[in-house]
Amino acid sequence: MTTRLPQGHRYHRDVVVDLEARWFLGGVEIPGRVVLAPMAGVSVQAFRRQGRRYGAGLVCSEMVSVAGIQHGNERTLGYLRVASDEHPLAIQIFGSDPEAMAEAARRVEAAGADIVDINFGCPVRKVTKTGAGASLLDDPVHAARIVAAVVRAVDLPVSVKMRRGTANGSRDCLVVGPALVEAGAASLTLHPRSARQMYTGFADHSLTAELVSLVAVPVVASGDVTSAARAQEVLSQTGAEAVMIGRAAQGNPWVIREIRGMSGEPSPEEVVAELLLFMRESVRELGERRASGFLKKFYAWYLGRGRFPRAFRQELVLLQSVEEVERRLLAAAPGAAELLEKLERLDGPLDEVVLDSLPISIYGGG
């Protein structure tokens, strides 16, 4: 028997959470409790479309620089491309100036996103030194001012992704979170590590449970959710509305299916077919030159986990072109070609929202 969990409840071992249950983020219906995280250098359109195909209820863009939008940076504006099969989609923005964030949110709305997400969690120095990302957890008043400005600027629901605080052991999220909800945030995502921790140690989801008990909006639990058992435990322990999957899904869309209760390790042919489709989509989106470098980390992610020998993965990284990598993969798993054709038919033609104000070269893989 599956049970809908009351907000703020505590963990009960015999409760099974229905991960296919629909929920609402503001007025947006989310068809499932698995959310694919926004990840810099990873969450391109190809990654998001794949995530939706494997059953993620919500997918998110990588964080988009407000300064880049202001200055018309072509690569930044390329992050605002939206395909019809990505919905529901959140586009995440980061910055520290309320009015600039509001204007960026308007651009996100015009691009066709369903949700504007604000990044108050990035721990990387080049972001925090500008007063953005996790550094805003040290200034709840200013953080709330940013959220209020964005909420006023758009008709879309506004969500916020944050960490527990900047310092180890911080509980600042329990102060900042309610303030952001009061400012108009329709949902909060908590990754209960500190900014100082980066991705070391463990995510303390007892803090997620405390946040759930303090706010009347959906909370998404992020951090260390890598299996169906862990997803069930986190949802049961915290009363969160959904779980967010990040690093576990890098080159591994099958983890989304597994967390949703559909077990089964992919065959080598299935792995290669998915990788080849991802490669082709990345070239279309980024262009051959950018995609060639971007994809190298994905070869290890897809082909690791004991699926292919290390020497084979290292060989692919040394090849000069995406076309060479594709030929080598098909030689290693000839049966992937037929599966790839089926995947491409399943994906169908790409239907994107194209803004008149964006450079046309973005839409040719520029």
Q: pLDDT tens, 174-206?
A: 999 999 999 999 999 999 999 999 999 999 999
Over residues 25-81, the pLDDT tens digits come to: 999 999 999 999 999 999 999 999 999 999 999 999 999 999 999 888 888 998 899
pLDDT higher at 292 or 357: 292
pLDDT tops 50 at residue 355: no
Over residues 69-91, the pLDDT tens digits come to: 988 888 899 889 999 999 999 99
> Strands 58-60 and 34-36: what pairing?
parallel
The CA-based dihedral angle spanning residues 154, 74, 244, 210, taken in that order and rounded to the nearest 10 degrees: -50
Please report the pLDDT score of residue 349 as a whole number: 57
DSSP letters spanning 247-293: GGGTT-THHHHHHTT---PPPHHHHHHHHHHHHHHHHHHH-HHHHHH
Task: Calculate the average pLDDT of the chain.
Answer: 90
What is the pTM (predicted TM-score) of this model? 0.90
Please report the pLDDT score of residue 358 as a whole number: 42
Which helix (H) or strand (E) segment holds residue 235: the answer is: helix 228-238
Residue 225, amino acid? V
pLDDT band at 345 (very low <50, low <70, confident <90, very high): confident
Over residues 128-166, the pLDDT tens digits come to: 999 999 999 999 999 999 999 999 999 999 999 999 999
The Cα angle at residue 117 between residues 233 and 275, in degrees rounded to 5: 70
Please report the pLDDT score of residue 268 as a whole number: 96
- Residue 298, C-beta contacts closer than 8 angstroms, at least 6 positions apart: 250, 251, 275, 278, 279
Q: How many CB atoms lie within 10 A of CB 300?
A: 17
Instruction: Fill in the DSSP letter of residue 172.
Output: T
Domain ranges of the chain: 23-259, 268-348
Indicate which residues carry an active-site annotation.
122
CATH code: domain 23-259 is: 3.20.20.70
Q: How large is the average pLDDT for residues 284-290? A: 93
Under 8 Å between Cβ of 104 and 93: yes
pLDDT band at 263 (very low <50, low <70, confident <90, very high): confident
